[in-house]
């Protein structure tokens, strides 16, 4: 018997639906919409890797360049058993719009390998990473395609990629990848950048709504690098109260507020929030937890039409890429929930990746305070640009006012389209 597929969970369809809605509000013709919607290049690799036991195993890898009109393709590489060409294509398109919203000179790219990295030894992971980098060395480059970390990858993998590319080029080229260790040309503030950007967007949204952030109750889904940093910054710098946190190990809650520093230490030691002695297990979905601000910082498709009506937060700040489906967006909008869209909210990571790329290319590195100040300037400007676009949209039109997500897409599409118009079309 055929299994029914839930189309609202298809990330590529969701990305295209979001784009089409914004493009329609900008009254783009079908040809222009296709030009901006279709990826420039999609590559599939079959990667042979010698395993520790002497056997060869084949892994499927992907790299998609969505649009490079504004600059080199930019986007992370994820290692996950569910990686697919559709998912990577959707993520690459989101990167195009994210870079445009942040107004940094990159296009959109994304990559991935279909693998559960927990099942591989360190040596096997290194051979797999280097094979992937070598196979794509004709695509990668500081002026063509600049990868970065994503789900289940980090500084270590980026250092391997930088070394592999440099060996092929017969020269040290650090600007080929971002998210590297500091000793290999990484940037101060890069690890915290995505979470810091989420925090800044939440600050700006609270100011926009006239809502106090100090004392606000926050639930964080996905207590990894993005969610953990966001929670820490919101608690330490803004006085918010983190009342719930979750990851793959489980979920915990404390209505009086979690000790975020203690929880971060617990996660580092136990590899998950489960069992944290300063909280009780959360037996219901964290998406539906009673809070003022919800930060989905895990994977795609966490808020759907099945659970959106039960979201109790006033603000949803998307730390992850694509955590809310288009159907869920409509439900949240009708409930008066303010969604800070992913292409704006989590753009702090790619913004500091841009700073890292700039520093690599000029061979001069900034202190962390300067990186953070530049990041804040970029994020505040991007948030203001999106709010201004939303407010310029005529609420009396037959289509009605646009959501913050569609406003962000409209800002991004206009910027990418303007560069296409200025550059012309090569024939």
List the catalytic residues.
110
Closest CA to 175 of 12, 358, 16, 307: 358
Given the DSSP bridges, would you call strands 338-340 and 41-50 parallel, antiparallel or unpaired?
unpaired
List C-alpha distances in Å: 184 to 159, 177, 267.
7, 10, 27
Please answer whether residues 153 and 75 qualify as being in contact, where contact means their C-beta atoms are separated by less than 8 angstroms. no
Q: What is the DSSP letter of 213?
A: -
426 burial level (CB within 10 Å; 0-12, 13-18, 19+) = exposed
Closest CA to 100 of 201, 202, 19, 9: 19
Sheet order of strands, 73-80 included? 41-50, 56-67, 107-114, 73-80, 145-149
Q: What is the DSSP letter of 288?
A: G
Which residues, in sequence order, are CB contacts of 85 under 8 Å at separation 6+?
A: 42, 44, 62, 64
Determine the Cα–Cα distance for residues 370 and 161; give it in Å rounded to an integer: 27
Please answer whether residues 348 and 356 qualify as being in contact, where contact means their C-beta atoms are separated by less than 8 angstroms. no
Which residues, in sequence order, are CB contacts of 263 under 8 Å at separation 6+?
A: 223, 231, 245, 252, 273, 276, 278, 279
Determine the Cα–Cα distance for residues 239 and 253; give it in Å rounded to an integer: 18
84 burial level (CB within 10 Å; 0-12, 13-18, 19+) = middle
Determine the Cα–Cα distance for residues 83 and 57; give it in Å rounded to an integer: 17
């Amino acid at each position: 018997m055929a299994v029914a597929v839930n189309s609202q969970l298809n990330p590529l369809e969701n990305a295209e639906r979001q784009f089409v809605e914004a493009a329609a509000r900008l009254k783009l013709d079908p040809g222009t919409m296709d030009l901006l919607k279709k990826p420039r290049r999609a590559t599939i690799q079959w990667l042979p890797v010698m395993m520790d036991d002497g056997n060869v195993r084949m892994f499927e890898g992907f790299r998609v360049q969505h649009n490079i009109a504004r600059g080199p393709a930019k986007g992370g590489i994820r290692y996950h058993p569910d990686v697919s060409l559709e998912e990577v294509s959707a993520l690459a398109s989101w990167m195009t719009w994210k870079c445009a919203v942040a107004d940094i000179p990159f296009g959109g790219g994304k990559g991935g390998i279909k693998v559960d990295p927990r099942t591989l030894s360190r040596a096997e992971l290194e051979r797999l990473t280097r094979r992937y980098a070598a196979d794509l060395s004709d695509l990668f480059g500081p002026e063509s395609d600049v990868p970065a970390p994503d789900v289940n990858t980090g500084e270590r993998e980026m250092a391997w990629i930088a070394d592999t590319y440099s060996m092929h080029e017969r020269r040290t080229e650090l600007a080929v990848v971002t998210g590297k260790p500091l000793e290999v040309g990484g940037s101060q503030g890069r690890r915290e950048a995505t979470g810091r950007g989420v925090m800044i967007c939440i600050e700006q949204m609270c100011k926009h709504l006239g809502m106090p952030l100090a004392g606000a109750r926050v639930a964080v889904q996905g207590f990894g690098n993005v969610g953990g940093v966001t929670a820490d910054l919101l608690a330490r710098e803004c006085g918010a109260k983190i009342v719930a946190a979750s990851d793959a190990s489980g979920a915990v809650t404390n209505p009086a507020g979690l000790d975020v520093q203690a929880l971060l230490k617990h996660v580092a030691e136990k590899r998950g929030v489960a069992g944290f002695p300063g909280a009780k297990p959360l037996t219901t979905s964290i998406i539906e937890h009673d809070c003022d601000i919800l930060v989905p910082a895990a994977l795609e498709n966490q808020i759907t039409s099945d659970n959106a009506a039960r979201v109790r937060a006033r603000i949803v700040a998307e730390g992850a890429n694509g955590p809310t489906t288009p159907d869920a967006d409509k439900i949240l909008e009708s409930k008066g929930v303010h969604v800070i869209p992913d292409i704006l909210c989590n753009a702090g990571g790619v913004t500091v990746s841009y700073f890292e790329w700039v520093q690599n290319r000029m061979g001069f590195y900034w202190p962390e305070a300067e990186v953070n100040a530049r990041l804040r300037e970029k994020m505040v400007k991007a948030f203001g640009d999106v709010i201004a676009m939303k407010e310029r949209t005529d609420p009396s039109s037959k289509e009605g006012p646009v959501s913050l997500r569609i406003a962000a897409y409209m800002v991004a599409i206009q910027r990418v389209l303007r560069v296409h118009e200025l550059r012309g079309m090569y024939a």
